[in-house]
Structure 1
Amino acid sequence: MTRHERIAQAPTEAAFLSVRGIQGYYGESYIVQDVSFDLAEGQILALLGRNGAGKTSTLRTLARTGTPQLTAGEIWMNGAPLHRMKAHQAAAQGLALVPEDRRIIAGLTVEENLQLAQIAPPVGWPIERIYELFPRLGERRRQEGVTLSGGEQQMLAIGRALAREIKVLLLDEPYEGLAPVIVQEIAKTLELIRDQGITTVLVEQNAVAALKLADRAVILDTGSVVFDGTAREVLEDEALRQQYLAI
């Protein structure tokens, strides 16, 4: 199967998140170039590529953060035209970005970080339900969020997203710097989130771990899609992995 044949393949499921030819740039430099993919409700997409391939930039473009600026293309989520919205409007529609740096608010406890996410509607999971998902957060609810371990901060960042009513979760490098046992715990959490019907786009340098979790995979190279298919196809295609992922 050629590179172009892989890109042209259409998913068999009805699209809940549909990305069509988006382009984004910083200044005069295009970082995201004609990126397209479809996801069914509740699916997990592994968005992969080498460093500098445009993965984080694609997430930020989807989240409508303003950088990179979306200059072309369409983003549809459950029929809502996110490409016409600002970041807060897209968030109100149910799109949540958990950035690589997690952005835990200093000076606030774990519980206060979660409560802050629920100040304005639409409210998502009750805080006690988030504690059931992440018992460690419940144990540390009175502890300042920024003093948590890296894995616990990642749990808090995901929990804060779930505290809002979300339909699509964008995750940027959730496994970075975490011990293997914590990576497994986060992966199990993402499986539970998938079971709740939440659609996830996962950017992760630990490509094998991401592929084992994901339903679909998109590989980027210099901001463009070079593969769009199932996660299993990538796991079984050694030449593809070596060429674009070096694994």
Structure 2
Amino acid sequence: MDAMTNAEARTAVRTSPFFSVCDIHSYYGESYIVQGVSFDIEEGDIVALLGRNGAGKTSTLRTLARASDPELKGGEIWLRDEPVHKYRDYQAAAAGIQIVQEDRRIIPGLTVEENLQLAQIAKPKGWPIEKIYDHFPRLAERRHQEGITLSGGEQQMLAVARALAREVKLLLLDEPYEGLAPVIVREIEGIVRQIKELGITTIIVEQNAIAALELADRALILDMGQIVFEGSASAVLEDPELRNEYLAI
């Protein structure tokens, strides 16, 4: 049998993980934020991306979604055989990378249902709206209510539901529990558990590290834009010294 060419070998390597991040470097202007981050994710995993404020978590997440800021200036991002590092944000979304940003970005003047319908204008579509309502019954009750008048927890539900209205292969959640009362956090946790049961690969950036770790399969810890720990979520939960050093909890 002929030996594999170098190109074939590279393809075999990069198509092995479901999602592969290879030595990415991102900048806000001259500020060097994401400094050589690499990791792989298997399909269906939930990964907690953790670190102190300013560690580079949101910047990493935005880089993966190919947002215009920060600017990617090196490295590769692969979703199976999709070269995401070459894409713009709308192309990454079309490939199946959906991000729910911390500010939720509910569109003023539109009802809950109109927010969902707008998400489905661009193909490929994800869940039908009635399926979304089956998993988010509170949104079904408020389908004709203006989205920005919902409570904080309901807006977070709508932001997640809107991501699912597009085809989603990788879901990126940025601070899904931010500013929510504990009882609402538990509701959002329930939604993330549903997402896990459905096999949707997810990365969670969350300041509430314990809540994220209790949901996650794996954990990545960032410090100063670099990964300082990669392993199981349970390993972080069981290591108070590690949490104290990098998470201050």
Structure 2 Cα separation of the partners of residues 85 and 197 of structure 1: 25
* AA in 2 matched with 1:132: D
Residue matched to 1:117: 119
Residue matched to 1:32: 34
Structure 2 Cα separation of the partners of residues 230 and 78 of structure 1: 22
Residue matched to 2:215: 213
1:139-172 superposed Cα distances (whole Å, 9 cap, x missing partner): 0000000000000000000000000011000110
Which residue among 52, 57, 65 is the counterpart of 1:55? 57
Which residue among 170, 174, 177 is the counterpart of 1:175? 177
Q: Which runs of 4+ in 1 moved over 3 A?
A: none
Residue matched to 2:202: 200
Give 3-state SS (helix, strand or coil) of 2:67's partner.
coil
Which residue among 62, 68, 75 is the counterpart of 2:77? 75
1:81 Cα deviation after fit = 0.9
Structure 2 Cα separation of the partners of residues 177 and 66 of structure 1: 26
Structure 2 Cα separation of the partners of residues 82 and 223 of structure 1: 20
Structure 1 Cα separation of the partners of residues 192 and 111 of structure 2: 24
Structure 2 Cα separation of the partners of residues 223 and 19 of structure 1: 14
The count of corresponding residues between Structure 1 and Structure 2 is 234
TM-score (norm 2): 0.92
Which residue among 202, 218, 225 is the counterpart of 2:227? 225
Structure 2 Cα separation of the partners of residues 209 and 196 of structure 1: 20
1:128 Cα deviation after fit = 1.0
Pairs within 5 Å for 1:4-15 = 15=17
Give 3-state SS (helix, strand or coil) of 1:217's partner.
strand
Structure 2 Cα separation of the partners of residues 170 and 50 of structure 1: 18
1:197 Cα deviation after fit = 2.2
Structure 1 Cα separation of the partners of residues 21 and 198 of structure 2: 22
Structure 1 Cα separation of the partners of residues 72 and 222 of structure 2: 17
1:166-217 superposed Cα distances (whole Å, 9 cap, x missing partner): 1000110000111222212211211211222211110000000000000010
Structure 1 Cα separation of the partners of residues 122 and 85 of structure 2: 23
Structure 2 Cα separation of the partners of residues 214 and 184 of structure 1: 15
1:80-122 superposed Cα distances (whole Å, 9 cap, x missing partner): 1100111111110000011000000000000000000011210
Percent sequence identity is 69
1:24 Cα deviation after fit = 0.1
1:15 Cα deviation after fit = 2.0
Unaligned runs of 5+ in 1: 1-13
Give 3-state SS (helix, strand or coil) of 1:106's partner.
coil
Question: Is structure 2 residue 144 aligned with structure 1 residue 142?
Answer: yes
* AA in 1 matched with 2:79: M
Structure 2 Cα separation of the partners of residues 168 and 77 of structure 1: 9
Give 3-state SS (helix, strand or coil) of 1:151's partner.
helix
Give 3-state SS (helix, strand or coil) of 1:23's partner.
strand
Give 3-state SS (helix, strand or coil) of 1:107's partner.
coil
Residue matched to 1:126: 128
TM-score (norm 1): 0.93
1:62 Cα deviation after fit = 0.5
